[in-house]
Copies of this chain bind each other. A is one copy, B any other.
Amino acid sequence: MVTIKEVAKKANVAVSTASYALNGIKKVSPETKEKVLQAARELNYRKNGFASDLKRNSTKTLALILSDLSGPFYSELIRGVQDVATDHGYDLIACSAIGGENSTAAKFLTEHRVDGCIVLAHNITDEMLKNVAHHHFPIILLDREIEIDSTVHVRVSNKRGGFKATEYLIQNGHTDIAFVSGPSNSYDNKMRFAGYQEALQAYNIEPQNKWVVSGNFTREGGESAANILAAQDQGPTAVFFANDEMAVGGMEAFQKRGISIPNDISIIGFDDILEAKYVNPKLTTIRQPKYEMGASATHLIFQMLKNEKVNPIFELHTDLIIRESVKKL
């Protein structure tokens, strides 16, 4: 490996001069600069980023921690993060939390390898986050329930969204409304369900246990939930899937059984994934402001980096997107 020392020697200057030249610091005369650059080129010099970060005590990079790099994820959200990071001259890397304590995520979280982290991973334990969170190392948690000291949460109003979805169904004349839930340990799911229940109550509709079935947030889960619902003597006239992924699977399952959407049954989802508008009929759903979530999270990091005080909770709103999958009764 060729170091700055060798470059300096070849250019007949001191290391400091070489460093200044290489970093474009004006102190150095144009001729010396060119000499250094030339030497660097000839030696094919590449700086050692770690050494430089170590010295400067700053990495100018942010990490985005995801449950699984290869999982499906919100590209809009990432774009939000990326845009803001770039605006501030920061780099962004993504890493996976698979492996828990031994994951790449853990390494970045604990070893001062980045200046801040955005965590969108449910496989990172609260325990670990607690151990790592301290001042001067900003951590933003997305969609987490538990509050952790010196950590900031960015959330979406899942409960209000669940309420809106259910209310929209009710306003279209539905009273027999099923809820297909995600995994029970999911904070998102819990809140969306709470919104569903609240809406039923607000409109004096008796909740029915048989109409709450679970679907694990996956397409397949949505299919089997739809099949369970369709097999009942007296099925619901509408179903609220706790995410679009399941709604898409559910729609397919209903249609396969000859049940027409929205004529025989109305469907509403949650998330507004890309596919929602390509499915047939187009899916009515609750949109999460994903780009804004990413952008806000990143803005918060920079505020924290500047030692500004930030509110520990930042909540964003949801919108009802009306398309074609709900019929007025």
* Contacts from A to B (Cβ < 8 Å): 1, 44, 46-54, 57, 59, 61, 63-64, 69-72, 75-76, 78-79, 82, 86, 91-96, 98-99, 104, 107-108, 110-113, 131-132, 134, 219, 248, 252, 275, 278, 280
Contacts and interface: CB of A to CB of B under 8 A. Distances in A.
Contacts of A99: 86
Contacts of A96: 82, 92
A64 B48 CA distance: 19
A103 B71 CA distance: 24
A104 B92 contact: yes
B82 A78 contact: no
Contact of A49 (B51, B94, B107): B107
Contacts of A275: 275
Closest 4 CB pairs of A and B: A49-B111, A91-B104, A70-B79, A70-B78
Contacts of A132: 46
Given A95-B92, A112-B49, A69 B61 contact: no
A84 B46 CA distance: 28
The binding surface of chain A is classed by DSSP as: mixed
Nearest to A255: B280
A104 B86 CA distance: 9
Contact of A91 (B50, B95, B110): B95
A61 to B, nearest CB: 7
Contacts of A95: 91-94
A65 B121 CA distance: 21
Contacts of A112: 1, 46-50
Contacts of A61: 104, 107
A69 B91 CA distance: 12
B110 A46 contact: yes
A209 to B, nearest CB: 31
Nearest to A83: B70
A218 to B, nearest CB: 12
A71 B274 CA distance: 12
A79 to B, nearest CB: 4
Nearest to A294: B70
Contacts of A46: 110-112, 132
Contacts of A75: 70-72
Nearest to A99: B86
Contacts of A113: 49-50
Given A61-B104, A92-B69, A54 B44 contact: no
A1 B71 CA distance: 34
A111 B69 contact: no
Contacts of A92: 69, 95-96, 104
A275 B57 CA distance: 46
A132 B45 CA distance: 10
A45 to B, nearest CB: 10
A310 B78 CA distance: 36
A134 B278 contact: no
